[in-house]
Structure 1
Amino acid sequence: MPSPAPEQLLRELHASLTLRKRPEDVARLIQDLYAAQGTDLDAATETALAKAAEHSLRNLWHGYTSMREEFARPVGAQRQLARAASLFVSVPELPDDAGDDPARVEAVIRRAGEEIGRAYGQNDFGLDRRNRAERTAAGLGEISKRQYNKRFRLLRRMEAKLARLVHEQSRREVTITGKGALARALPYGLFATDTDTAAFIAYITARGCMRSVFTNGRQRQVYDEVAEALFQRLRNGPTRTCWYAVAHVHPTAEVLAQVSDQDLTQLLVQWNRFLRKVAGLLEDAWNRHPLERDTMIVRCGDDSSTWNQAAQAWNTARAHWFALLSELGHDEVLDRICPGKVPRLMAADVAYWHRMSGGGLHPDTYVWAELPLPWEVLRGEKECPRSLVEAVCARHRVDPTAGAWTAPRPVAEAVDFRRTPETVHGVAVADPLMAGALRSAGVFSGKDKRAAAQEWT
């Protein structure tokens, strides 16, 4: 079987930026890419990649992982479009991918609405429907009341489906950005400018997209010895490196110093826009069910999934925003507006585990609880200058600089590479086949516990 061409491997690496491939599998792709190009690797990079790729699916006897290798996609409107095509003369049969495109779904709703004299947004079943005289005047006399109502109800449901689709697609974008920063926005041409650049971005993004593990300690750090070896190659060939592309995912002072002010400003604009988007998502979750700010422990009714995804995205965007402001020399902005970090919600059993092991709430929780809510700060409803954040941090004995409350995140030191565990609802399981069975049985999910227990007894 012939080896893949370098461009094919580069495109596969680029596609991984919006997937959830294991870092081991991305390391194996990087090995294949360097081999296909005949690149002589330095000893440190070769050793680090081999250490990670040893556990890739291609090198394991079972070649299987129980975990999804992509972020969950929202269910499209394919079924509704097919139904519309059968009821409306003006609606043609559309390909399956049309159901995932909100613009095309909206166009169908508008076109079909014209066929029965319905304007987009007229969803009140009591007020917006036409009576017999109105239908006759509009040239709809041949359509029975039953058939008219059927079409009206379908379009009303399609608008509701469209709103859900837009919301879920936005939430998916927020989730991917929270994990992998702006890697998702990198066009292939920019990503593939330099092989070493592409390798580093793909690997660090895969590390960022790893799942959280059920633990009472710190989560696994993103920057490991493999990332460090790949980054060292960027240092050794700075004239080839596309530092602007690297800045999308790794905004250290060393990286940003290599990027032009114009490109830095473009990134700042993107993160400004994204911060406001995430703030809206956080506010929606808060308004549906206000959280227990003093503890951030999940209570019945809390939408912990949405909140935690948005919180991670907020903290990622905020870290990039701070780093860009610092590099552009606009630190004075933080003197006037310095929105705080947003903690994730913690499950009650994890909080209990912390207490039983001699720990407690993270000090950042106390700081968060005293600061204005992020969306209030961005809208200018409440003031949150750097001086306020520093005062609150001092009250709770938190270093505002080291804790990234008033300054960019400190540069991370590389940690040892460790094999990616199979997880079942956050619980690490050694064997992927067992993990798949446990997940199917509902173990660790908190649902259908009795049925799962009976199945395994």
Structure 2
Amino acid sequence: MTTVEELYKTLDQRRRPEDVAEMIIELLEDKISKHEHTILEKAAQGSLKRSVFGYTSMLETFGQAIGAEKQIHKAIEIFRISEGEKTDYNNAENIEAFLNQISPLIQKSVGQNDFRSDRLNKIQRKEAGLDLSKRNYNKKWRLLKRIEKRLSQFIHESQKIEFQKIAKHGLSHTIHPEDFTEDLNTACFIAYFNARSGLRNTFTNQSQERPFDEICEVLFNRCKETPEKTNWLAVSYIYTSEEVLQHLTDEQKGALLGRWTDILQEIAAFLGELWDQNDINRKTMAVKAGNDSTTWNNTAGAWNKARDNWMNLIYALGMEYILEDISFGKVMRLMAADVIAWHLSGGGKLDPNTEVWNRLPLPWEVFQEKEFCNKKMIVEACRKADIDPEKSGWIAPRTHQVSPFKPTPELVHGVTVSNPFLASVLRKNKYFSGKI
């Protein structure tokens, strides 16, 4: 595998920025200036390749939903059918196709899973030409029901993981290989910014680190130096700044706006379900027993990321007048009560964004046209919370800032641990609560 192919693989992973910077130096070694090399070295010197131990305690991949391969292989055995070509049953379409193919063999309708009313009795089995004992028939019927349940779970888990990826890096994991490798400067910027965007949140009473750092700036400047070669559409999948969007045609921007609108629609439906399932304290957004904070925060992050991109495109197309008729706010993440207490003890107060959130209708219900909200209402809510509605990103694209590079810390549930081996031991022995 070439270095650029390895770099492409990182788009769907959670590789440390230091390791991605190491690959970039290898790719651009004879193409970058001394200054650019010095900036990149700030990160690359901390790569696992250069480390004595070459080890990190943190997972470098996102989670993966488990399909129905185990259940389907059992069904193939019990139904005594020939599988033919090897099929990937970690794929919703293939699982659904299998069910549609096999269910008619016992006259079962997909989706009809009531054990009392949806099974065939002895007379019905005989009329359908099924020469099966009650025990054999029930065994096959139950197995197909389990496969349908697994399919539903797989779709749900896949959606959760997809939203987690969107929350971190937008649509970069959907970029096609040929678009990524078309231009080396494009590939390097996307890969490094993707790695920075995928960093985990740290346990702190301060704001989180912004992903666009000084190394991003150096790599982005290289893209701007040769704008005719840069694949700006690919860049826009992860970075929809005004500088990027001005290089797209209105048709490209319109298609991208449509895609983000579809994503918002999917997230809105998911948020509505989560809101109904979790008894969330909307006033404080403090986690309490029974809240699925991991799923909520990942989905809230996906909403906010999709909303930011939607907002950027609205302004880029000169369509901000839409906000006078409909505008939906951000979704607040759940916060651990001890972090809130820590923040208050340091002289701070509840995040004023939470106050805006409480003054406005639930944003997914506005998007679904169940509630009404527009720009005027958001501006007024921000004014009462003493927040600048534009600079804070409530009604306009976020303001751009460049962060200094900081080494990636080893974390156990957000808490910094100096040694990666120690971090893995602490995690294994459950010294910190929460999920990995």
- What TM-score, normalized by structure 2, do the two folds share? 0.97
Residue 277 of structure 2 is aligned to residue 310 of structure 1: no
1:455 aligned residue: none
1:452 aligned residue: none
Any conservation in 1 of the 2:279–2:290 contact (CA below 8 Å)? Answer: no
1:206 aligned residue: 195
2:69 aligned residue: 78
* 1:40 CA displacement: 2.4
| SS of aligned partner of 1:179 | helix
Aligned equivalents of 1:415, 1:115: Cα separation in 2? 61
Residue 11 of structure 2 is aligned to residue 17 of structure 1: yes
CA RMSD of aligned residues (A): 1.4
Kindly tell me: are residues 286 and 57 of structure 1, through their superposed partners in 2, closer, same or farther at Cα, counting changes over 3 Å?
A: same
| SS of aligned partner of 1:428 | strand
In the alignment, structure 1 segments of 5+ residues that lack a partner are 448-457
Alignment of 1:263-342 (within 5 A): 263-342=252-331
2:96 aligned residue: 106
* 1:94 CA displacement: 6.9
Any conservation in 1 of the 2:268–2:368 contact (CA below 8 Å)? Answer: no
Alignment of 1:48-447 (within 5 A): 48-90=39-81, 92=83, 95=86, 98-141=88-131, 143-412=132-401, 414-445=402-433
**Which residue identity does 2:79 align to in structure 1?**
F
Aligned equivalents of 2:75, 2:227: Cα separation in 1? 55
| SS of aligned partner of 2:55 | coil
**Which residue identity does 2:43 align to in structure 1?**
A
In the alignment, structure 2 segments of 5+ residues that lack a partner are none
Aligned equivalents of 1:339, 1:74: Cα separation in 2? 31
Any conservation in 2 of the 1:81–1:94 contact (CA below 8 Å)? Answer: no
Aligned equivalents of 2:72, 2:148: Cα separation in 1? 12
* 1:446 CA displacement: 5.2
Aligned equivalents of 2:278, 2:85: Cα separation in 1? 39
**Which residue identity does 2:38 align to in structure 1?**
T
Q: 1:175-228, CA deviations, whole angstroms, 9 ceiling, x for partnerless residues?
A: 101101110121111111210011000000110001111111111110111111
| SS of aligned partner of 2:411 | strand
2:35 aligned residue: 44
| SS of aligned partner of 1:30 | helix
Any conservation in 2 of the 1:174–1:309 contact (CA below 8 Å)? Answer: yes
Aligned equivalents of 2:176, 2:293: Cα separation in 1? 32
Any conservation in 2 of the 1:44–1:229 contact (CA below 8 Å)? Answer: no
Aligned equivalents of 1:153, 1:399: Cα separation in 2? 58
Aligned equivalents of 1:446, 1:161: Cα separation in 2? 26
Off by >6 Å, runs of 4+ in structure 1: none
Aligned equivalents of 2:200, 2:387: Cα separation in 1? 27
Aligned equivalents of 1:156, 1:65: Cα separation in 2? 41
| SS of aligned partner of 2:416 | strand
Aligned equivalents of 2:170, 2:82: Cα separation in 1? 39
Identical counterparts, % of pairs: 40
**Which residue identity does 2:369 align to in structure 1?**
G
* 1:110 CA displacement: 2.1
Aligned equivalents of 2:394, 2:279: Cα separation in 1? 23
* 1:170 CA displacement: 1.1
- What TM-score, normalized by structure 1, do the two folds share? 0.93
Indicate the larger mover: 193-202 or 286-295: 286-295
Aligned equivalents of 1:93, 1:168: Cα separation in 2? 28
Q: 1:67-113, CA deviations, whole angstroms, 9 ceiling, x for partnerless residues?
A: 11110111221211111111113352774x72211111112222221
